[in-house]
Amino acid sequence: MVGIDPKAATKTPPKVVTIRVRRYNPVSGREWWQEYKVETHRGMTVLDALLKIKEEIDHTLVMRYSCRMGVCGSCGMVINGTPRLACQTQIAEVADEANPVITVEPLYNFPVIRDLLTDFTSFFEKHRKVMPYLIRNDREEQEDPKGQYLMSREDYEYLEEFTLCISCGLCYAACPVAAIDPDYLGPQALGYLFRYVIDTRDEAWEMRLKIADDEHGCHRCHYAGTCSMVCPKVVDPAQAIQRLRSILFKYKLGLYRKKKISGISPPPKEWKPRKPLPPEAKPVSSEVDYKKLEEEPVVIEVEDRRITLRHKIYE
Amino acid sequence: MSSGGPRTKRNMPGLLRASLNPWLVRVPDHPERLAFVLHRVTGVIIILYLLAHIVVTGTPAWRGWAAWDSLMTQFNNIWNQIGEFIVAGSVLFHGMNGIRLLLTEFFGLCLGEPEPPKPPYIPPTYRACQRKLLYAVFALWPILWFVAGLLIFGVW
Amino acid sequence: MAASRIQVWQYITAILLIFFLGYHLAERLPWLWGYHHYHETLYSQFVQHQYHSWWAGGLLILAYVALFHGLNGVRGILYEWRPRWGRAWDALFWLIFIIFAILGTYTVVKLW
C-alpha cells in the first residue's frame, strides 16, 4: 500500500536533497541527526542516495542492504516517519522542490546496532517459533517423498498473499503493540502462522494454534492494522491475525473444522516421451565460441507484444 | 556485555507514546490506527468511571436513599456534568467501535477475502466492510455524543 | 494456561454488554420513563424502583460483566507494559474483580 507507486520512478526528483540520518554510535552511546546533501537523478531511490553518501561523503554510515530491488527485505528503514524499503522508495516520492528533506531512521521496535542497522535476532526467533514449514504426520514420507502434496487452485489463491512475506520487518516496526511488548510475536510471525494453519497440506495446525494462544500471541493484537498498511508485498497480516484469532476461538468452542488435509499425488506410471523440438529450433553445437557469445549483444525483437530474445550466433 | 563495550540501543516507543499517539508511524488514509488509540483511551476512562460508579452506587445500601438523593443534588454541578459528558462520549465510541471489533476479531467477518495482490495494491482489509463500519462509527459518534451532551447539560 | 480461556470471555462479555449496558443507558433517557430531564432519572424516586424489579438481576450481571471486560482490558495493557510481571497482573486482576464484585453484589442484594 505505502510505497507501491508505479509512476514514482517517472517523476523528476529535486536536483539536490538533504538526507537527515538518525545515527547511533554503539561504543560511545552517542545519538545524533546528521545531514547530507546529495545530488539526485531520475529513478534514484533512497537506498541509492544512502549508498552515494557512503561512497562519496561519509564511509562510516552503516546500513543493511542486499538485492536493491525489493526482494530480499534487508533495507527496511523509517523514511519520513513511515517504515519502508529504502530500495523501493523513490526520492521523487518522498521529497519535492518545496520540501527537499528526507529523514531516515532505523526501524522502530528493533534494537539498533549502529546507525541504520537493526538487530533482527529476536524477530527471527519469533519467526522460528511458529514453525514456518510444512509438517505432516507421516514424517517418513515427508523425508522421502513419493509424490507431491496436492492443493486445489482455490486453496492456493486463498493463502497466496500470505506466502509473499519477505520478513523485512516493516510490519513489526509499524505495530503499536510491538512498540510496547518485546515478547509479542508480531504481525510477521502470526501472519506466517496463519498461512500454515489454513494450508490444506499442513497437519500440525493444532500445535500452531497452541503457539498463537499465548498472552503474547494473537490476543495482543488490537487491529490497529498499520502492519498491512506498510507491507511492501501487500501481505495483509492484520487480516491474517483477526482470522487466526477467530479460528482459535471457534476451535476452543468446538466449532472449527479445518478443510480436509490434501493427499499425495500418485507417482507417474510411466514417463511420457519428450516432445521433439520444432524444426526451426537449432540446438547449440558443441563448437560454439562462448567468448564470442559473451561479446556479441543479444537481439531483442518486440513484435506485436511478443518479445523474442535472439542471438546472432543462431542466424 | 561490559559497560564500556558496544551495545545496542533500545528503539521502542513504549506504552504512552504507542497508546496515545495515532501518528507515531506516519501512514496516509489510516483511520484504524486512530480507532485503536481512541478505543484504548476510552477504555481506560470507562474502567476508572466504572470502579468509582460501583463505589458511589453503593451509597444507598450503606447510608440509605436520603443520602443518595443528597449526593445526586451535590453532584449536579458543571464539573461533574463535564465528567459525565466525557464518560458518555467514551462509552459511545468504545461501544460502537467495539461492535466492529467483535465482528472482525471474534467472528472473523467484514475482513474481506484473501486474494493474490493486484493493482492498486490495497490490502483486502482496507477495502472490506469493516472500513465502512469504521466510517459509520466516526460519523455517528459526534452526533450521539452531542445528543448525550444535550441531556447531560440539561438543555433537552 | 492457554490465554484464550480468559480472552474468549472478553468477547462474550462484550456481546452481553451491548444488551445490558444498552438497557442501563436507556434508563437515562428521560422521555422513555415519563420524565423531563436526564437528571431526574438519577434520583431515588426512579432508581429505587429498579432494584425491586427483574432488572436487579440484570444490574448484577451487568456489574460482573462490565468489571470483567474492563479489568481484563487493563490486564492486557499491563501485560504489554511489563510482560515479566504477568502473574502479578493476573493476581491483581482477580483481586480487584472480586472486591468490586462483592461490593456490587452487596448493593444489589441489600436494596432488593
For residue range A160-215, list pLDDT tens digits in order. 999 999 999 999 999 999 999 999 999 999 999 999 999 999 999 999 999 999 99
pLDDT value of position A89: 94
Domain with B66, as residue range(s), is 33-152
Instruction: Render pLDDT for C8-65 as a digit per residue (tens, 0 to 9).
Output: 999 999 999 999 999 999 999 999 999 989 999 999 999 998 899 999 999 999 999 9
C29 contact residues in B (CB cutoff 8 A) = 151
Quick check: is B131 in a domain?
Answer: yes
B108–A contact, CB cutoff 8 A: yes
The set of cell numbers assigned to A237 is 497480516
Q: Does B154 touch chain A (CB under 8 A)?
A: no
| Residue B107 at interface with chain A, using a CB cutoff of 8 Å | yes
Residue A303 has pLDDT above 70, yes or no: no
Structural domain includes residue B21: no
Is residue B87 predicted with pLDDT exceeding 70? yes
In a domain? residue B25 = no
Q: Which residues of A touch B24 (CB under 8 A)?
A: 108, 176, 179
Chains that touch B (3 or more CB pairs under 8 A): A, C
A111-123 residue pLDDT tens = 999 999 999 999 9
* Band of pLDDT at residue B145, cut at 50, 70 and 90: very high
Q: Does B77 touch chain A (CB under 8 A)?
A: no
B96 part of a folded domain: yes
The overall longest dimension of chain A from CA atoms, in Å, is 71
C 14-33: CB under 8 A from B:
14-15, 17-18, 21, 25, 28-30
Q: What one-character DSSP code corresponds to residue A98? A: S
B99 touches chain A (CB under 8 A): no
Confidence of residue B1 (pLDDT cuts 50, 70, 90): very low
Go through the domains of chain C in sequence order and give each one's CATH number: 4-111 (1.20.1300)
Task: Count the domains in chain B.
Answer: 1
Q: What percentage of chain C's residues is helix, strand, coil (to nearest 5)?
A: 85, 0, 15
Q: Which three cell numbers stand for residue A209?
A: 494454534
Cβ contact C103–B55 (<8 Å): yes
Nearest partner of A2 among A129, A119, A90, judged by Cα: A90
CA-nearest of B134, B125, B110 to A231 is B125
A279: pLDDT confidence band, cut at 50, 70 and 90?
A: confident
Instruction: Look at residue A315 in the predicted model and tell me its pLDDT.
Output: 54
Question: Residue B48: inside a domain, yes or no?
Answer: yes
Mind listing the domains of chain A with CATH numbers? 8-118 (3.10.20.30), 121-252 (1.10.1060.10)
What is the per-residue pLDDT across A214-260, written as a single tens digit (0 to 9) for each? 999 999 999 999 999 999 999 999 999 999 999 999 999 999 999 99
- Rounded CA-CA distance B156/C30 in Å is 10
**pLDDT over 70, % of chain A:** 90
Q: Say which residues have a Cβ less than 8 Å from residue B16's Cβ, sequence separation at least 6.
A: none
> How much is the mean pLDDT over chain B?
94
pLDDT exceeds 70 at position A3: no
Please report, for residues A32, A48, A236, A263, B115, the alpha-carbon distance to residue A114 in angstroms, rounded to integers and kept in the order given: 12, 19, 30, 49, 38
CATH number at residue B81: 1.20.1300.10
Q: Could you tell me if the ipTM is greater than 0.85? A: yes
Q: pLDDT at position A141, please?
A: 86
User: Is pLDDT at A16 greater than 50 in this prediction?
Assistant: yes
